[in-house]
Amino acid sequence: MSDIEIHGHAPARFAAVKDAMAASFAAGEELGCRFTLVEAGEVVVDLWAGWADRARTRPFDEATLTPIFSTTKALAALLIARLVDQGKLDYGQTVASVWPEFGQAGKASITVEQCMSHQEGLSGFLERMDPADWFDWDLICARLAAMAPIWPPGTASGYHPITYGFIAGEIFRRIDGRTMDVALRADLAEPFGLDLWIGAPDSEIARIPELQRPNALPDFGQRNDATRAAFLTPWAQPGGKGADALRRLALPSATGHATALALARLMGALADDGWLDGETILSPAVIAEAARSRIRGQDLVLPFEMSWGAGFMRNETVHPWGPGNETFGHSGWGGSCAFADPERKLGGAYVMNRQSAELLNDRRPRRLIEAAYGGL
């Protein structure tokens, strides 16, 4: 695989990025992937290579629409931030003020920013349920509203792999009236030509690559009720309805589909005072407020010390995305990531269809990002 053909463009100063991608293929670590870098609003690197299927008959190309799993959470965080920017929501207000039913079981004082930073204690369901229940939005929201927190809210973060999307999505719906998938397409994707989707409609299914799953489970470190609810029960993930139904499911925590170009352009805007194609998609003040650390410390679910903004992972602890402490974004299961570095006006994204078991430190995007920073 060392002779893989890499497509796209990277100027001479970013030649090491192309070499880094080639190295991942040479090591047998990739099936298909794409990496895009945006600097001060300009696409400076856009490279792709490999195959969209395991039989290696269909190329992974610039039209390939890749599942991004939890990198979707960055899109949800942006949509919530836009409500804040419009004066329709405040991060400090209670969730119950917009979603009254949520105030049950001791949750009346939980704030929007506590939910966005995984502090409210609803990382998943410990009680047995049908994995197909995840496809019923109202049912899951009712269960979350009635549920008592697994740990005392505000005392620690505990990553919410699936439930985050229902909580953020329901807050958004209660205020805006639309679901996040509809708002993303109408407000950002279509006006700016961004190939971004939460849930993939039938019209896009043919562009989605075949995934090569990891052959091992991630290392979650210490296991507790928060971790079990999040990841380690048979019902922790949606299931039982087939792959196409899962792709169509509009879940703002996990079923995003995107190209690296679209993600990098969006994150590049957040790194550049909100400017995208001459328009402001988010004010600089709200970008800073969304990215500001709400809690820092050992996460109860992920085996890392984490710093969480209002829906965004912050780079300052684990540094998956270059050296900047102010860089923020999100990573997804298997290796995808999208990040914004406001100190360097840099946005980047990596997508792929061969998944690794690493939760946050996948060496393939790290290799590309380190090479990109070397070219700055």
336 is catalytic: no
- Residues 233 and 299: their CA atoms lie apart, in Å, by 19
Amino acid at 193: G
Is 122 in contact with 150 (CB distance < 8 Å)?
yes
- pLDDT tens figures, 329-351: 999 999 999 999 999 999 999 99
Question: Which of the following is catalytic: 70, 307, 331, 356?
Answer: 70
Residues 6+ apart with CB under 8 A from 161: 70, 123, 124, 230, 231, 236, 237, 253, 254, 301, 333
The beta-strand segments (E) located in the chain are: 6-9, 32-39, 42-50, 66-69, 196-198, 256-258, 275-276, 279-280, 295-298, 305-308, 313-314, 328-331, 337-341, 346-352
Give me the residue spans of the domains in the chain.
27-374
CATH superfamily of domain region 27-374? DD-peptidase/beta-lactamase superfamily (3.40.710.10)
Tokens 């856009």, located at residue: 46
**Parts of the chain with a pLDDT under 70:** 1-2
- pLDDT tens figures, 271-298: 999 999 999 999 999 999 999 999 999 9
- pLDDT tens figures, 185-208: 999 999 999 999 999 999 999 999
- Residues 20 and 250: their CA atoms lie apart, in Å, by 34
**Phi (first) and psi of residue 25, to 5 degrees:** -70, -40
Determine the pLDDT at residue 3: 81
- Residues 82 and 307: their CA atoms lie apart, in Å, by 22
Tell me how far CA of residue 195 lies from CA of 218, 258, 324, in angstroms.
29, 6, 27
Tell me how far CA of residue 307 lies from CA of 98, 177, 357, in angstroms.
26, 31, 22
